[in-house]
Chains A and B, each alone.
Chain A
Amino acid sequence: MGLTKAILDELDQIGDWGLLATDADLVITHWNRWLEQRSGLAAADVIGRCLLEMFPDMITRRLDRYYHQALKGQTVVLSQRFHKYIIPLPSADDVSGHTQLQQTSRIIPLMEGADVVGSLTLIEDVTERVAYEAELRTRARQQAAVAAVARSALGGSNIGDLAREVVGHVRETLDVDFVEVLELLPARQSWDRLAAAGWPEPPVHSFEAKSASRIQHVLAPESLGTVVDLSPTLLRDDAYLRTHSVTDGLIAPIAVGERLFGLLGAYTRHRRLFSPGEFLFAQALADVLGVAAQRNSLEGELRLRIRELAEQDQRKDEFLAMLAHELRNPLAPVKNSLQTLRVMYAKDPDVGRLTEMMSRQVGQIVRLVDDLLDVSRITCGKVTLRKERIDLMSVVDQAIEEGRPLIEGRSHELSVKAPQTPVVLDGDPSRLAQVLGNLINNAAKYTEEGGQIWLEIRREENEAIIAVRDNGVGITAELLPRVFDLFTQSDRTLDRSQGGLGIGLTLVRRLIEMHGGTVQAFSQGLGQGSEFVVRLPALPEDAKVESRQSTSPNPTPGPSSNHRILIVDDNVDAADSLAMLLELSGHQVQTAYGSEAAIAMVGSHRPRVVLLDIGLPGMDGYEVARRLRQNPDFSRMTLVALTGYGQEDDRRRARDVGFDYHLVKPVELGELTQLLARLGK
C-alpha cells in the first residue's frame, strides 16, 4: 500500500497516536506532530535519517528484528507489557512512576503491489492506562489482604497470630523493607513488639516509650485514627529507625474504642511516596487489629465472668443445701414436742386445736425446706429417679389426697376427668406425686375461696397429658415466661399467709424434664385463671402395671413391742423431745449426746434399738455404727440412722456400715412407731 501524505494526514486526524513511516531501508519518511510534541524533535530534523541511527537502543533492545520482519511483509504487534515502549519518549506524567512514555505499537509493512516499500509504525501512549491497571492490581492485592486478615480475625485468631499475618501482607503488598506491630503495655510506659518482618535482628520487645519518637507521636491523643507519613524530623529523632537506615515510612495507630492499643509501622530504606490508597490499606489493617484486640479482651472478660458466675452458682447451691440442712435441725424437736403435746393433752380441744395449727405451720416449713433441698440437689445432679412402671391414676390419687385438706379448707370444687383405660408410664411415683401435688396445691392457693379446679388426664398417642386448670388469679403476660424460674413469684397473691419461696414450679419443671417430659403454663391474664399442662412419655396402650410385692413388712403392728431404746443426738432438744415422745408410747428410752457416751451406754444398758444421728461431732454416726457392729454381743441390736439426707447413696452407706434402717429427720412419729412395732424383742 503506498502511503500518500493525504492518507497520513487522514490517519493523523482520526487518532491520537504517533505515526512513524520509513522506506525499505528504514530511513524515516514521516514523523507526525504527535511525535514532535512528545520527543521535542521537529519532523525536519528527523526525516531523512536512519531510524536505527536515531534510536540506537532499538538495536540493543532487539526491536530492529521486528522492523526486518515488517519489511518481509509481516505485521508486528508490540505490547507494552513485553516491550514498555518502542521509541524512547519522556513521560509527562509525574504520578505514574514511569520516566518513559509507555507505548503499545503496530509495525505494518507498506506495500506497492507485491513489494514491501517501507514500514509504518503506529504508536499509542498507554502510560495512564498502565498506571491505572497497576493501581487496580495493587488495590486488588490490598483488598485481598484485608479480606484475608478480617477472615482470620472473625475466625478467632489471637492478636499475636493476626499481627504476624498483617506484617506479612504489609511487607509484600506495600513493598517496604520493615514492618512492625507494637502493643502499648499498661501504664503507657513501654511497648511490646507483637510481630515484625524484615528486621535483621530478632524482634526486640519492650521498647521504652520515651526512646522512640515514632511511638511518642502515636501517644498524642490527636493522632488516634490517623495514618501518618513519617516526617524527616520524626525519623531523625527516632534512633532505632536511624540505625536501620530508614528514610521513609508510615505508621497507623491501632485503636480499641477510644483507647490506643498499639501501632502498625511500615518503613523503607529509600525515599518513597505512599499513595492515599496505601494509607487507607494500612488504616484498614490497623482497624482490623483493633477490632480483634477488642474482641480478645471482651472474650477474656466474658470467660472470667462466666467462671465467676459458675462459682457463684455453685456457692449458691452449696449454701442452699447447707441452709436447708441446718433448718431441719431445729424442726425435729419442735415437731417431736408438738406430737408429745398432742398425746399428752389429747382430751383438751383447745390444746388440740393449737397443736394442730402449729403442726400445720411446721409441716409447711418442712415442705419449704424439703423443696429447697430438692431444688439444690437436682441442680447439682444429686437426685436420681426411682422409676417403675406405674398407673398414672395412682399418682394422681395420691396427689389429690395430699391436696385435699387445702382444697376443702378453701371450699374449692375439684373435678377430675380420666380415661377408662389406665395410662401406664415409667416414672418415679413419689416424685410425680410431688409434682402433681405441687400443681394442685398452687391451684388451690391461687384461687379465691369457693373456686373451681379441673384435673384432666388423657392419652395423646404416645404421651400422657395431665392438665390442672383453675379459675383463680391467673398469671400476667409478663410473668408467664418466667413462672418456672427459681424464686419467681407473683407480686399479687390472694393470701400472703400461703406464702412460698417460688421454688415449687422450678421443682415441677426439673422433675418433669428428668422424666423426659415437658410442662407448660397458660393464662389469659390476671383474674383469668391458669392452666398447667404436663406431658410425659407414655408406654403403649397394652402395657400393664406389674403387681408389686409389698416390700414393707406387715404394716399391722406386731405383739406389744415396747423396747429399750437409746437415742444418740448432739442436738439435746431433739434427743430429749424424741425421748419424751417415745416414753409416752411405752418405751424405755435413754439419751446420749455424743459418740463416746453412746458407745459406753450401749455397753452398760444394752438397748434393743439405737436411734443414731449421723452428724455427730468428732466420731460420726457411721463410725459409731461400725464399732458397735464389730462387737458380736450387739449383733441383735437394731441400729436406725437418723439423717438429714435421704438419697440412695446415703442409704447405701448406712447399710454398708451396719445400720438396719434409715430415717430422714425430722422423723415422722407414725413411721418410727411402725418401724418399732415391726421389731421383735
Chain B
Amino acid sequence: MTLTDDQKDAVTELVNIAFSRTAAALSELTGNRVELTVPEVSAHPISGLLPALSRFVCGDVATVHQIFGGPVSGDAFLLLDVDGANRLVDLLTDAGAPTRQMGSSAREVLAEVGNILLNACLGVFGDLLQVRFTFAVPRLHLEALASMLDSLVIGRDELRHALLVGARFRLRASEVTGCMVLVLGITSLKLFVQVIEEWAERAATES
C-alpha cells in the first residue's frame, strides 16, 4: 500500500505538530534549543521496509519500542543507529566528547526521548481519531536492523504495513538523523489513512 502525495502531505503536517511538541519538550528539558524536522514520509509493507530504513539508519540500531493499543493498535518505534544515538544523548545531556558505549544512563535518556516523541505522535493521532490509545512501557533495544525487523513479523498472521517518518534532530550546530516507524495491520492502516484524508479535506475547507 502506498500513500498518495496528498496523504503524505497530511501525515507530514500532523507529524510536524507532534514533532514541534517534542522539540519544545526537549528544549525545556535540556535548556538547549532543539529542532526536529520531518525529511520525508512513506508507507511500506513490512517486507519492503529494510531498504527504506537503510536510508536513515544502518548497522546496529538503537530502537525505542512502544506498543500501543486501542481501536487502532500496533507498534511505534524510534530508530537511530547506535553512533547517532550516542551522539544525540551526548548533545542533549552536555556530556562532552561522545562515548562509544551506551551506558545505562544513556539508554534511559534515549528511552525518554523516544517516549516523548512517540507519545506526542500517538497523542496527535489519537486526537485525530478521537480515540484514546493505551501505551505499554517503552523498551530500548540495541540490535542489528535486520533482527529488529524480524521481530515485527514473527508470530503475526495479519499482513502488516509500516508508516515511515524520517526524523532529523538539530541542536548545538549538530544534526542526528533517525526515523519513526508506526507498524499497523492493514485494517488499522486503512482506517488511519481514511481518517487522515477526512482531516485533510476538513482542513482544506476551513482554510
Contacts and interface: CB of A to CB of B under 8 A. Distances in A.
Interface of A: 62, 69, 72-82, 104, 106, 108-109, 111, 114, 126, 129-130, 133, 136-137, 140-141, 144
A140 B137 CA distance: 33
A78 B112 contact: yes
A133 B105 contact: yes
Contacts of A82: 29-30, 93, 109, 112
B20 to A, nearest CB: 16
Contact of A111 (B89, B111, B122, B134): B134
Interface residues of B, number: 29
Secondary structure call for the B interface: helix
A324 to B, nearest CB: 69
Contacts of B28: 62
A376 to B, nearest CB: 62
Contact of A81 (B109, B119, B123): B109
B195 interface: no
Contacts of B137: 75, 77, 106, 108
Contact of B108 (A69, A76, A104, A140): A104
B207 interface: no
B111 A77 contact: yes
Contact of B119 (A69, A78, A111, A141): A69
Contacts of A74: 119, 122-123, 135
A561 to B, nearest CB: 96
Contacts of A77: 108, 111-112, 115, 137-138
A73 B134 contact: yes
A465 to B, nearest CB: 62
A79 B93 CA distance: 11
B44 interface: no
Contact of B115 (A75, A80, A104): A75
Given A82-B29, A82-B112, A73 B133 contact: yes
Closest 8 CB pairs of A and B: A79-B108, A77-B115, A77-B112, A79-B112, A75-B135, A74-B119, A79-B109, A81-B109
B168 interface: no
B143 to A, nearest CB: 20
A80 B89 CA distance: 13
A65 B117 CA distance: 16
B115 A129 contact: no
Contacts of B52: none
- Residue picked from B108, B119, B122, most chain A C-beta under 10 Å: B108
A106 B103 CA distance: 18
Given A73-B134, A74-B123, A75-B135, A130 B105 contact: yes
B112 A126 contact: no
A12 to B, nearest CB: 18
Contacts of A72: 132
A627 to B, nearest CB: 84
A74 B97 CA distance: 34
17 contacts: A62-B28, A69-B119, A74-B119, A75-B115, A77-B108, A78-B112, A79-B109, A79-B112, A81-B109, A82-B29, A106-B137, A111-B134, A126-B104, A133-B104, A136-B103, A140-B99, A144-B97
Interface string B18-45: 0000000000111000000000000000
Contacts of B119: 69, 74-76
Interface in B81-119: 89, 93, 95-97, 99, 103-106, 108-109, 111-112, 115, 119
A80 B105 contact: yes
A140 B101 CA distance: 12
A648 B102 CA distance: 78
A81 B112 CA distance: 10
Contacts of A129: 104-105
A137 B104 contact: no
